[in-house]
Structures are given as structure tokens and as C-alpha cells.
Amino acid sequence: MLALRDLRVSYGAIEVVHGISLDVAAGECVALIGANGAGKSSTLKAICGLVPVGSGSVQFEGRDITNASGHAIVRAGITMCPEGRQVFPQMSVIQNLRMGAYTRTDKDQDADLVRMMDMFPILRERQNQAAGKLSGGEQEMLAIARALMARPRICLFDEPSLGLAPKIVASVFETLAQIKAMGMTILLVEQNSMMALNLADRAYLFEAGKIVMQGPAKELKSHPDVMRAYLGH
Amino acid sequence: MNRTLTILVWLVAFASLAMLPQLLTIKYYLHLSILALIWVIMAQGQNLIQGYTGYVSIVGAGFMGIGAYSSTLLGIHFHLPTWATIAMAPLVTALFALATGYPSLRVKGHYFAIVTLAFNLIIVIVLINYKELTNGETGISNIPKLWGGSRDAYFYLVLVLAACLTLLAALIARSRVGEILLAIRQNEDLVGSIGIAAWKYKLFAFVVSAMYAGLAGALYAHFQGFINPEIFGVAQSLDAILAVILGGSGTIAGPVIGAFLVVFLPELLRFADSFRLILYGLILVLATIFMPIGIVGVCKAAIRRLSRKDIRSDA
């Protein structure tokens, strides 16, 4: 469904992603793991058109979307849930959700709104509150729900556990598991490698802008190098 | 209920303004009221880009100058009627705004402010040095006035225009576009990841704001009958920003109140003689420190607190 071939990304003169290739099949949950600065988030941003691709290509459902504009990519069916619990702080929860459906023109938006609130009961409770007044975990839930409101065919999550308490991290991952069970295709960037590998079907390990290991999540989880470097065993 | 009350307040404000020419015995105050209404138009435009979109533009007076000079020069060189040149001024300004807005909107925050400040300086430098066209620092005098220079008639023209443009600003703010402008102010990166081409909306706000300024400039030129480059310097741009902040940025009533303040406050402070400008500056500094949400913001907060107390005492 999504295919990256020999992708290179640079910020000015400094190249941070040195030619990576990866695939995500429909219905699959793929995790990109690795340390800080390994190029995971830059890869996601390049897919979404938020940073320019230096060379290589991004294909989505057979179409070349390399360096397409951010809104063209969203219209194509790729939605990103950016890191750091991004919400519109002065808008209500409902308004935030409606903004998520901005690119849609169909009439099912209200039904989807109800569905999101069934999935996240806390959002129904807080529906008229300003998003900035929610707790960190609630804001992350809102960010995820807002991303789903676009009815994407693939959803990219950038560090959904960032800066959240361990208990909240667990509930965020429960939510992601629920979304995966609905059949959503997911590409997940995560530093919390254990959580990510438990959720994902397949994973790619990034180191200094390159993919150094790939395979089924279970295999990576039991690989001695990964265990030593990233899982703390 | 609440909505009808708001409309009622606006109608009362409009009606009392409409009676001003009959009530004011000193003609100088009528003169100031016309200036204040021109500033209402200016401040409503500034509010669109500064208050709603969150981009503090310092080129407002520059665009006002482009409007004033284009209306005047079109009248002189093509012998067009004054009403036609006033109508064309915002369109000419819009062209300049498109050209300057596209590069300046690529940067945010302080950088955007500095880029627009530079554009204002450039506009003034061009107005001073392109003497063949603008007559340089001497300026242009004897600009034709409407209705033989009748102040009362001009007052009503400006009042109706200010009211219509305030209404237009309110309609924009309540529309889907306005919602996206507010979203850009709150979290521009997120607007991008939702799939909205933020730059289009920012450019729209910038150009519309420039058109407001251009019209205000043209109205100013044909009211005063004289323009020179100095009037459209950075100091005036800062006054427009202050009008928005003092009144309440991101509100519709704010720029109206703010515009009257920046025009009348320096006059009311005349009793202080040579301390006048120092006092004016002090009031502005104190107001921005202690009242960053503006007069409208403070009033809203007070009303909310009062109504909450009412509910409590009822219970």
C-alpha cells in the first residue's frame, strides 16, 4: 500500500535519512523503532510532505506522491497524528474533531463523530470543553480521534506515548490496538520499543538514518542485539 | 436572547454615532470622529491578520499610503471621478499585498513582523524618492474632496462604510474561513497535517486586511485634502496594532473601541501640555501589560463573573 524506495531526507546541508526503503501492506501495523535522532520522525514527515524529499520515492497505492503538497497527501488518504498531543487549545473537543474531517465532503461526519465518542467516552464527557484544558492523556486521545475523523486509509502515528505517564501510555496503546483491530493500516513511530513491538506486526529498526534490521515484530523482540540496546534486558 | 442583545447594542452604537453631527457643537470633534471612523476600517483590517490569524503585520500604514496615493494619483492623471478612485484604491493595494504577502508569510512570529516592518520602510522610501510621481516629501495638496468638502456628508459616508466593513469582518470571522484562521493562530502545524493549505488562508487574511487599509487610506486622502509620505510611516502602523490590542484582538467590537481610543486619547490628554505624549505612551504601556486581552476582553470577563454570581445567589 505504502512503499518507500531509497528515500533521502536532509535539513539544509545535513542529510538525516540516508536512503531507506520500507513497505506497509494494507491492514498491517508497522513500527519504526530506534533511538533519538535516528531519522524515524523525519521519515514520517517526508511521507506527509511536511519536509522535502531529497531523492528516492514515496508510492501510495501505486501512485507517486513524492514531494506532493501536504493537503494533497491527506486527500489521497494518509493522515498523520503529529507528536506532542497536537490539538487546537481554544477550540472545544467537538470543534477539534470536526476540523479533523475538514477534507471530507460526505454526509457521514456526524455519524463518525458519534462513533469517535463511543470509542473514547472521555471525549463525550468533555465535548464542550476547550481542548487546552484536557489532561495530557485526554489530549492524545483527542489527537488520535481527530486523525481518524479524516477517514484515512493509512494512519501515521508519531510518538503517541511521548511525555505521558506509564499508565496513560498503556491506555494509549490499548486504543491503538483497538484501531488496529478495526482493520486500519498503521505506521507507528515509537521510542517505547517494547510497547511498539508488542502492538506491531512488523518493525524496522533505525540507526543513524539507516534501517539496520527489519522483520516480524516478534523476531525483533527476541533478537539479542535489540533486547540489549532497546528493551533493557 | 444573547444574540439579539448583541445586535441591539450594535444598533444603539450605530444610532448614537449617526446623531453625532447634530450633537457636536465643536466642529473639531466632528473632524476627529471622521478620523476615528476611518481608523475603525483600518483596525478591522488589522484585526483580521493580527487578531484572528495571529500574524502581527507592521505594514498597515504602508498599505494605507498605497491606497491614499493610488486614489489621488488616479484622479490627477486619468481625471477619474473621486468616488471611482476611492473604489479602486483597495484593488491597487490588494495587488501590492499579494506581491508582499507571499514572501513574508513564509516566516512566522517576530520574523513576520520584521519583514512587514521592512516593507513599510520601503514603501515610505519609495514615496519620498519617486518625486516625479509622488512629489516627494512635499506631498500632494488640494486633493479633490467629495460634496464640496461637506464634513457632515463625509461623516455619514465614512460611518456607513465603517459599519458595512465591520459587518463584513464579522461575517468572515464566523465563516468556515474564519474558523481556519483561528485554527492557524492556535496551532499552524496541525492545520497543515489536517490537510488544509494554510498559506492560502493566511494570504487571504493578509490581502483582505491590506484592502481595508487601502480603503482607509483613500478615505483619509480625500478627507484631509493633503498627503505626504510621513503620515504613512511605521508609527501609524504601530497605532493600528495598538488599536487592536487596546480594544481586544480577535473580537469584532475591539477594533471599533480601539480606533476611537487611538484617535481621541492624544486629544483628551492635551491638558497635560508638554507631558502629553509621555502620558499617552505610559497609558499604552500599562494597558498592554495589565490588560493584554483588551477592553472587550476585560468587559466579557467581568460580565461572566457577574452572571456567575447571580446564579450562585439565586441558588
Flag if A70 and B193 touch (Cβ within 8 Å). Answer: yes
Of A80, A91, A150, Cβ closest to residue B186: A91
From A171's Cα to the closest Cα of chain B, the distance in A is: 23
Confidence band (pLDDT; 50, 70, 90) for B195? confident
Tell me, what's the pLDDT at B311? 57
Flag if B182 and A89 touch (Cβ within 8 Å). Answer: no
Flag if A75 and B195 touch (Cβ within 8 Å). Answer: yes
Nearest residue of A to residue B193, measured between CA atoms: A80
The pTM of the full predicted model, rounded to 2 decimals, is 0.87
Confidence band (pLDDT; 50, 70, 90) for B197? confident
Residue ranges covered by each domain of chain A:
2-231
Residue that wins the pLDDT comparison between B25 and B180: B180
What amino acid is encoded at B130 in this protein?
Answer: Y
Of A75, A88, A103, Cβ closest to residue B190: A88
Nearest residue of A to residue B200, measured between CA atoms: A71
B66 neighbors B221 (Cβ within 8 angstroms): no
Report residues of chain A scoring pLDDT below 50: none
Tell me, what's the pLDDT at B50? 92
Q: Of A52-56, B210-214, B278-282, give the lowest mean pLDDT range.
A: B278-282
**The pLDDT of residue B148 is above 80:** no
Residue B226: DSSP 8-state:
E
Is B139 among the domain residues? yes
Flag if B194 and A150 touch (Cβ within 8 Å). Answer: yes
Q: Which candidate in B176, B184, B185, B194 is best for mutational testing of the A interface (most A CBs within 10 A)? A: B194
From A203's Cα to the closest Cα of chain B, the distance in A is: 24
Q: Which three cell numbers stand for residue B226?
A: 493633503
Which element (helix H / strand E) includes B53?
A: none
Q: For the residues B187-215, what does the mean pLDDT come to?
A: 91
Structurally, chain B folds into a number of domains equal to: 1
**The pLDDT of residue B118 is above 80:** yes
Size of interface A-B (CB pairs under 8 A): 56
Q: Which domain holds residue B90?
A: 29-233
Of B183, B192, B197, Cβ closest to residue A88: B183
Flag if A82 and B194 touch (Cβ within 8 Å). Answer: no
Q: For the residues B118-127, what does the mean pLDDT come to?
A: 94
Of A73, A74, A89, Cβ closest to residue B186: A89
Average model confidence (pLDDT) across chain B: 88
Nearest residue of A to residue B186, measured between CA atoms: A88
Tell me, what's the pLDDT at B310? 62
- Taking an 8 Å Cβ-Cβ cutoff, which residues of chain A contact chain B? 48, 50, 69-71, 73-75, 79-82, 86-91, 95, 99-100, 102-103, 146, 150
Which element (helix H / strand E) includes B150?
A: none
Q: For the residues B257-263, what does the mean pLDDT come to?
A: 91
DSSP secondary structure string for all residues of chain A: -EEEEEEEEEETTEEEEEEEEEEE-TT-EEEEEESTTSSHHHHHHHHHTSS-EEEEEEEETTEE-TT--HHHHHHHTEEEE-TTT---TTSBHHHHHHHHTTT--SSTHHHHHHHHHHH-HHHHHTTTSBGGGS-HHHHHHHHHHHHHHT--SEEEEE-TTTT--HHHHHHHHHHHHHHHHTT-EEEEEES-HHHHHHH-SEEEEEETTEEEEEEEHHHHHH-HHHIIIII--
Is B41 among the domain residues? yes
Among the listed residues A19, A103, A2, the one whose alpha carbon sits nearest the alpha carbon of residue A54:
A19
Confidence band (pLDDT; 50, 70, 90) for B315? very low
Strands A53-60 and A2-11: antiparallel
Is B302 among the domain residues? no
**The pLDDT of residue B153 is above 50:** yes
Flag if B195 and A103 touch (Cβ within 8 Å). Answer: yes
Q: Which candidate in B190, B196, B200 is best for mutational testing of the A interface (most A CBs within 10 A)? A: B190
Predicted-complex ipTM score: 0.82
Is B147 among the domain residues? yes
CATH of A2-231, one of 3.30.70.370, 3.40.50.300, 3.40.50.2030, 3.40.640.10: 3.40.50.300
Cα–Cα separations (whole angstroms), residue B131 to A83, B73, B121, B125, B289: 55, 13, 17, 11, 42
B218-256 pLDDT, tens digit per residue, is 999 999 989 999 999 998 898 899 899 989 888 999 999
Flag if A88 and B186 touch (Cβ within 8 Å). Answer: yes
Residues in B touching A100 (Cβ below 8 Å)? 194
